[in-house]
Amino acid sequence: MIPHAEPPLTDTLRAYEIPEGVRLEFRLAGPVVRACAWAIDAAIRGLLYVLLALGLSLLGGIGVGIMLIGFFLIEWFYPVVFELHKGATPGKQAMGIWVIQDNGTPVSPAASVIRNLLRAVDFLPLFYALGLLSMLLDREFRRLGDLAAGTLVVYRDQPGERKMTAEARVSKPAVELSREEQMVLLAFAERGGGLSSARRIELAELLRDLTGLTGQAAVDRLYAYANWIVRGHAQAASYRAASPPGQAGP
């Protein structure tokens, strides 16, 4: 009923549709921003090394042993602890990026351990040259640790809140719309503000079979349909939240 074409993926955008039918889009983090995050984390680790060495230097041989164990834990498990707790180390958080599985789910303990242990290989032969080469050759900027662990480093974009369009009233479509058709209408309403009036009318008239209208009236009708879709989804979410466990609506 509604013409719908899947938009092409750009070089830094990846999409994944979870089983619930929700389409997730991720912006891939490239070598530069990841290098900046690594530098911040390296500075933090360096400070921890200094504090640990100063604190244990007075304990003699026992202190040296404890210090070496502490250095090992900081070097190899500092990233793992933060990735499992917050999805990102402090350096990645500062740069607005985080680690996820390549299917869009949070990073798992095993994946986090694997990707960080393999930093030793990525470092070869010097200054992460092998890891950088891997990121430059891979379309998703994955170093060897990411390839082995099945992880991606992406920007942590904040999801926007979908609001009702102010330009039109609420109107229920005359026919039943599929989920894909509803997504097309919502995309039109959300992006319409960035289009010229002539372009909005041109796109709206492509759906003349749905609205039976032309010109600005067709645009307003599509906005009204989009508002009805948004209101219906909001009411359904409110109903599910208010329903006792096991008694949620269909």
Please provide the DSSP assignment of 73-86 as one string: HHHHHHHHHHHHHH
> Looking at the domain assignment, is residue 3 inside a domain?
no
Q: Are residues 56 and 128 in the same domain?
A: yes
Last residue of a domain, one of 104, 120, 155: 155
Type of residue at 91? G
Q: What is the per-residue pLDDT for 22?
A: 53
Cβ atoms of 26 and 16 within 8 Å: the answer is yes
Q: Are residues 138 and 200 in the same domain?
A: no
Using a 10 angstrom Cβ sphere, with 0-12 exposed, 13-18 middle and 19 or more buried, the burial of residue 223 is buried
Radius of gyration of the chain (CA): 25
- Show the domain range for 150: 26-155
Per the structure, the count of domains in the chain is 2
Cβ atoms of 24 and 102 within 8 Å: the answer is no
CA atoms within a 13 Å half-sphere pointing along the CA-CB vector of 216: 4
Q: Are residues 57 and 109 in the same domain?
A: yes
What string of H, E and C letters represents the secondary structure of 21-72? Answer: CCEEEEEECCHHHHHHHHHHHHHHHHHHHHHHHHHHHHHHHHHHHHHHHHHH
Of the candidates 24, 140, 147, 39, the one whose C-alpha atom is nearest the C-alpha of residue 92 is 39
Q: What is the per-residue pLDDT for 166?
A: 47
> Looking at the domain assignment, is residue 247 inside a domain?
no
> Looking at the domain assignment, is residue 17 inside a domain?
no
> Looking at the domain assignment, is residue 35 inside a domain?
yes
Q: Are residues 127 and 184 in the same domain?
A: no
Last residue of a domain, one of 155, 190, 211: 155
Q: Are residues 126 and 188 in the same domain?
A: no
Q: What is the per-residue pLDDT for 240?
A: 43
Q: Are residues 142 and 184 in the same domain?
A: no
Q: ω into residue 3 within 30 of 0, thus cis?
A: no
Q: Are residues 31 and 113 in the same domain?
A: yes
> Looking at the domain assignment, is residue 108 inside a domain?
yes
Q: Which residues contact 19 (CB under 8 A, 6 or more apart)?
A: none
Q: What is the per-residue pLDDT for 10?
A: 42
> Looking at the domain assignment, is residue 16 inside a domain?
no
Q: What is the per-residue pLDDT for 243?
A: 47
Q: Are residues 92 and 30 in the same domain?
A: yes
Q: What is the per-residue pLDDT for 179?
A: 81
Using a 10 angstrom Cβ sphere, with 0-12 exposed, 13-18 middle and 19 or more buried, the burial of residue 103 is exposed
Q: What is the per-residue pLDDT for 226?
A: 87
Of the candidates 87, 90, 76, the one whose C-alpha atom is nearest the C-alpha of residue 154 is 87
Q: What is the per-residue pLDDT for 210?
A: 86
d(C-alpha 143, C-alpha 166), whole Å:
46
Cβ atoms of 192 and 66 within 8 Å: the answer is no
Q: Are residues 191 and 147 in the same domain?
A: no
Last residue of a domain, one of 103, 120, 155: 155
- pLDDT tens track for 203-248: 888 888 888 899 998 888 888 888 888 876 544 444 344 444 444 4
For the chain, list residues with pLDDT below 70: 1-11, 16-24, 158-168, 232-250
> Looking at the domain assignment, is residue 212 inside a domain?
yes
Q: Are residues 119 and 189 in the same domain?
A: no
> Looking at the domain assignment, is residue 12 inside a domain?
no
Q: Are residues 42 and 128 in the same domain?
A: yes
Quote the tokens at residue 9.
């993926």
CA atoms within a 13 Å half-sphere pointing along the CA-CB vector of 185: 30
Q: Are residues 148 and 194 in the same domain?
A: no
